[in-house]
Structure 1
Amino acid sequence: MSVYFDSIGHGEDVVWLHGWAMNGTVWRPVAEAMAGDYCNHLVDLPGHGRSTAIAPLTVDAIVAELEATFPLPVHVVGWSLGGAVATAWALKRPEQVRSLSLISSSPCFAQRDDWRPAMPMETLRQFAANLGNDWQGTLKRFISLQTLGSPTAREVAKTLLADLLLHGEPDQQALREGLDILRDTDLRSRIAELDLPLLLQFGDRDTLSPLGAGEWLAAQQPKATFVVHRGAAHVPFLSHLDDFVVVQKRFLAGV
């Protein structure tokens, strides 16, 4: 098995999926706050942290690893790229996913002619071009973008940087192919197929997964719980930890 995860707490199982280049440690503050009510499984996605790399790294390949690692029904929370993986998992194996929470995620991360609430395609190209020359500097710049616009940007960026290598360096090929996932993913045509409790948590200052993406998701899934954290950028679970946990626990308790 190539998927590594830490488990914190006791109760119903919740699987937490991180974003590009990070690892499961980003969720630790949330997991510790929820440990009295839930068993939180903090996953290192393949090629990240302590999980073995798989080739090629695709959304379908990641889902295959997760469905083998967690065969029993679980609640799934996905942040950013992890949200795309979580969505694909729920679409492929609905019997395994009890509820789906998407945090600062998007059905389509790169701008297209018919889709503007996303990153410019050129931004992703630049990150891909810079990875080979200075991957650590590239990740630091990406972290800066994740916190841009938040009043707590410096503190959140510092936390993310500290978490970045706690489980070891990410696999370079996984980083490149992870950017390909961000560039190519487009799940818009399938969002209406989701038939499960859905929570959307977004920040109104997010430049990577803009609020418009969350509003679009909420329009496609009118029964979804949609929460906007005012003043949050791409990492509301750190910048607005207490509010985030209250929302997440309330949602899971109602499932």
Structure 2
Amino acid sequence: MTGIHREIYGQGRPLVMLHGWAMHSGIWREFARQLARHRQVICLDLPGHGRSAGLEQFDLPAIGSALFDAIPVNRFSLLGWSLGATVALDMAARCPDRVQSLFLLSGNPKFVKNTDWPGVRPEVLDGFVAQLSDDTKLTLQRFLGLQVQGLPESRQLLQQLRLAVHECDAPARDALQGGLQILKNSDLRKSLVGMRCPITVMQGDKDTLIPAQTGQSIKALNSRVDLHVLANAGHVPFLSHARQLCDILAAAE
């Protein structure tokens, strides 16, 4: 593998899409093709994930630099899901001249919960960090299950996730550990406060990783945020609520 792997669909206004932790672009290929009916969709594998080469240091500055170099257009909209949302938010803050608009899907500028912010309990991420050292495969299976937990169609969605994920080998352990450290330690709330590009936040009200109140907390940081909470959606609404997301994205431009 060399460089950053990308898949490009359609023509028109460019939309760059970044997947989540332990995943790759294949996870939302069908969703990308739906979006490509109206625009050019550029899907990137994060460094060390899917078919992309790894980095010596898996941190936000290095990831952003590698991804910016791989994007074949100067100005674009940017959509990030989960860990990809954290990466996308950081990229938009670093290079506002290139990011025309920002879409955060099932994301959180501060992934970990504390007394004044909704998020994942720290011990949940710590558990994944510890388990990776013992059994990477089991850890990834547990993470997939968590993303659809509590949904009526959880079995079907879990099967879709598994089929897509297994298209590529699992990411290297250093990339997985690095991604968890980014989620555990990053706090990009200040970046959101001063961001001037249009921001759209999309989340599910049944998401076990992004609490339902996260959207309102984000909107309190930046009143210009366009918030959409999808009823009966979990952490993977591009699988369960693709049509609604397509409508939101079309209306935002």
TM-score, shorter chain, exceeding 0.5: yes
- Deviation of 1:126 after TM superposition, in Å, equals 0.8
> In the alignment, residue 195 of structure 2 is paired with which amino acid?
L
CA distance in 2: counterparts of 1:43 and 1:207, whole angstroms: 25
Query: 93, 99, 111: which one pairs with 1:91?
Result: 93
- Deviation of 1:193 after TM superposition, in Å, equals 1.1
CA distance in 2: counterparts of 1:61 and 1:97, whole angstroms: 17
Query: 74, 83, 98: which one pairs with 1:72?
Result: 74
Question: TM-score scaled to structure 2, two decimals?
Answer: 0.95
Match runs of 1:1-255 below 5 Å: 2-70=3-71, 72-115=74-117, 117-252=118-253
CA distance in 1: counterparts of 2:200 and 2:150, whole angstroms: 24
CA distance in 1: counterparts of 2:78 and 2:190, whole angstroms: 21
CA distance in 2: counterparts of 1:54 and 1:192, whole angstroms: 30
Report SS of the residue matched to 1:132. Answer: helix
Report SS of the residue matched to 1:36. Answer: coil
- Structure 1 vs Structure 2 CA RMSD: 1.3
- Deviation of 1:52 after TM superposition, in Å, equals 0.4
CA distance in 1: counterparts of 2:246 and 2:11, whole angstroms: 16
CA distance in 2: counterparts of 1:249 and 1:149, whole angstroms: 29
Between stretches 99-108 and 70-79, larger displacement belongs to: 70-79
CA contact (8 A) 2:189 2:221 kept: no
CA distance in 2: counterparts of 1:5 and 1:66, whole angstroms: 10
Structure 2 unpaired stretches of 5+: none
Aligned residue pairs total: 251
CA contact (8 A) 1:107 1:213 kept: no
Between stretches 176-185 and 67-76, larger displacement belongs to: 67-76
Structure 1 unpaired stretches of 5+: none
> In the alignment, residue 227 of structure 2 is paired with which amino acid?
F
Report SS of the residue matched to 1:211. Answer: coil
| Deviation sequence 1:156-210 (CA, Å, 0-9, x none) | 1111111113133211110011111111011112211110111110100112111
CA distance in 1: counterparts of 2:19 and 2:113, whole angstroms: 22
| Deviation sequence 1:29-66 (CA, Å, 0-9, x none) | 21111222111111100010000010210011111112
CA distance in 2: counterparts of 1:24 and 1:245, whole angstroms: 17
Show structure 1 runs of 4+ deviating over 3 A: none
Report SS of the residue matched to 1:100. Answer: strand
Between stretches 61-70 and 17-26, larger displacement belongs to: 61-70
CA contact (8 A) 2:14 2:76 kept: yes
